[in-house]
Amino acid sequence: MDKKFYITTPIYYVNDKPHAGHAYTTLVADVLARYHRQNGEDTFFLTGTDEHGSKIAEAAAKHNQTPQEFCDQVSGVFKTAWDKDHLGIAYDYFIRTTDPNHEQAVRDIFQKLLEAKTPANNPVLYEGEYAGLYCTGCEKFLTEKELVNGLCPDHKRAPEVLKEKNYFFRLADYLPAIEQKIVSGELQILPEHKKNEALGFIKQNVPDFSVSRSSVKWGVDLPFAPGQVAYVWIDALSNYITALGYPKNLELMAKYWPADVQLMAQDISKFHTIYWPALLMALNLPLPKTMFIHGFFTIDGQKMSKSIGNVIDPNDLVAQFGQDGTRYLLLSQFPLGQEADLQASLFKERYNNDLANGLGNLVARTANMIETYLAGKNPITKKNSLNLNNDLPDLNKFFIYEYLVAIRSLIDQANRLIDEKKPWQLVKTDLASTQEVLGQVGELIILVAEKLAPIMPAISAKITKQFTSDIIKKEEALFPRLN
């Protein structure tokens, strides 16, 4: 295998269990990873959990647990939601920022930063005093301008005034180079408007940022700065390289770094398009090739939030629609990257329409006719007798939604072929033609199954097995109708 593909999701905070937003990004990454594996590329798909910081410590205290116990538990809940009995996320590695290896790697990274010089020959880190308004919900300092009625607009709570001695990262020395790499496309930011947004941040001259905290206890302690821990965002961003063994073991780094695709939503784009490249440059590492920043979706027009009570648990979706049904429903709603709405109220209708009546019915009726009219003998000749055009929208260009639209039209094409040729009439007079029609339909079904493999892996494998056997039998419904 010569080509490699390294894809990452954000690592999710464990202050709460996973919801449809986390599931969405993770699913997109899973689809792309499966697609690249299917194409024979040496693929590494990383996801995990972000477990340090005051937000997590507060949540643990609320549950009367130690932070570590709490993190173990909630991280486990994420793993379960992704496992083969739930969403079926085939990651290659699940990193936790409380892994001792990661923690040590973060200390090593800080040590390197401490010794490093910027392109302008200044020390990368310097000590300074910071006073600011800190929102624990965001795990970041807010400016007065960002507050709404004195409150953090996202968390509706007043930020605390924090004053402490910290290490700062000399970001200013890196901004011109980051800008140049984004403009030249060396660091590709997609979609285009998110690239412009990143360039906009740089134009505003993002100030140097503090990379250590003395007010926070639950974090990676820094031996060179007693009493201080690593700022949770530096700890978190580092995961993308510590998961590969950086800096102690460079074997996987040499194989997979730089990342080919880093996925996230816009809430954390600034950290990834500014701070992360600066950190990598300070470590003398190449930048990721592509960052894809998708929108934050609403649920039936409303922000997903506990107070509205519309937070969707992916496990509930899997219980209702099955693994592949859920994967389909989440990915077929809107083009990736669009500011969009997840129409959860239409999930059942879409499931019945596209899956039960569409793909499920096609497979069931075809298998049934083959069994009844042809004694199950597989009629597929693989001659590509329909001259199928296999060009679907490119998953490599993130066209997952468009790809599913094209697959639906293949399913419709197969259903129309049956309706037009009416094998139930044909069989009375012309067995050879019946066999040919069912063979053509079967060929379409196999094509659909093959194309669906990255999106609906379990159903795809089932259909492929059924339609490549010598004897095709009717099996239980793939997508039972829901009332």
> Which residues of the shown chain bind ligand MSP in the complex (CB under 6 A)?
10-13, 21-22, 24-25, 50, 236-237, 239, 264-265, 267-268, 296-297, 304
Taking the complex as a whole, the smallest distance from the CB of residue 50 to ligand MSP amounts, in Å, to: 3
Rounded-to-integer distance, Cα 241 and Cα 101, Å: 12
Of 303, 377, 397, 473, which one is the catalytic site residue?
Answer: 303
135: annotated active-site residue: yes
Closer residue to ligand MSP in complex, CB, 210/460:
210
Closer residue to ligand MSP in complex, CB, 139/324:
139
Contact yes or no for 418/370 (Cβ under 8 A): no
382: annotated active-site residue: no
22: annotated active-site residue: yes
Rounded-to-integer distance, Cα 436 and Cα 97, Å: 57
Taking the complex as a whole, the smallest distance from the CB of residue 249 to ligand MSP amounts, in Å, to: 21
Closer residue to ligand MSP in complex, CB, 155/421:
155
Of 4, 112, 155, 348, which one is the catalytic site residue?
Answer: 155
Of 52, 135, 194, 294, which one is the catalytic site residue?
Answer: 135
Closer residue to ligand MSP in complex, CB, 105/441:
105
Closer residue to ligand MSP in complex, CB, 15/118:
15
* The pairing of beta strand 212-213 with beta strand 188-190: unpaired
Contact yes or no for 367/423 (Cβ under 8 A): no
71: annotated active-site residue: no
Greatest extent of the chain over all pairs of C-alpha atoms, in Å: 90
Rounded to whole angstroms, what are the CA distances from 285 to 34, 270, 475?
Answer: 27, 19, 53
Rounded to whole angstroms, what are the CA distances from 417 to 414, 420, 423, 443, 446?
Answer: 5, 5, 10, 12, 15
Taking the complex as a whole, the smallest distance from the CB of residue 240 to ligand MSP amounts, in Å, to: 7
Taking the complex as a whole, the smallest distance from the CB of residue 304 to ligand MSP amounts, in Å, to: 5
Closer residue to ligand MSP in complex, CB, 164/267:
267
Residue 110 φ/ψ, nearest 5 degrees: -60, -40
Nearest to 232, CA basis, from 223, 247, 222, 241 = 222
Q: Would you say the C-alpha torsion 134, 139, 144, 150 has a positive or negative sign? A: negative
Of 86, 152, 194, 451, which one is the catalytic site residue?
Answer: 152
Rounded-to-integer distance, Cα 296 and Cα 341, Å: 9
Rounded-to-integer distance, Cα 242 and Cα 439, Å: 51
63: annotated active-site residue: no
195: annotated active-site residue: no
Taking the complex as a whole, the smallest distance from the CB of residue 310 to ligand MSP amounts, in Å, to: 11
Closer residue to ligand MSP in complex, CB, 302/353:
302
Contact yes or no for 346/451 (Cβ under 8 A): no
Taking the complex as a whole, the smallest distance from the CB of residue 207 to ligand MSP amounts, in Å, to: 20
Ordered DSSP codes for 249-273: --HHHHHHPSPSEEEEEGGGHHIII
Taking the complex as a whole, the smallest distance from the CB of residue 337 to ligand MSP amounts, in Å, to: 11
Of 22, 36, 194, 451, which one is the catalytic site residue?
Answer: 22
Closest residue by beta carbon to ligand MSP: 21
What residues are annotated to the active site? 19, 22, 135, 138, 152, 155, 303, 306
